[in-house]
Amino acid sequence: MLAMGICDAFLSLPEQAEADLRAGALRPFREYTTTPGVVLASAEDALRFNLYHEGLHLGSILAQPPLTRR
């Protein structure tokens, strides 16, 4: 089922992000300002923002089935 695959992928993001951070995969980090103006000054900032951002996607995806059943 496609939806379960998507959910599994989203649910694995925090563990993968933590592993990448611990392994130094996000170093060196160059400061970045997002389109809405959020300044990401460190790898930790970027990680927090990314997890929030991906959560928004997950919420949108999970909201779809009730809309399509009408």
Question: Which residue spans within the chain are E strands per DSSP?
Answer: 32-33, 39-40
**Chain segment 9-53, per-residue pLDDT in tens:** 878 878 888 898 889 888 899 999 999 899 999 988 998 898 788
Q: Domain for residue 41, yes or no? A: yes
Name the burial class of residue 63, with classes exposed (0-12), middle (13-18) and buried (19+) by CB atoms within 10 angstroms of its CB.
Answer: exposed
Domain count, the chain: 1
Q: Where is average pLDDT lowest: 5-9, 16-20, 58-62?
A: 5-9
Give residue 29's domain range. 10-63
Helix%, strand%, coil% for the chain, nearest 5 = 65, 5, 25
* DSSP summary character for residue 28: S
Q: Domain for residue 4, yes or no? A: no
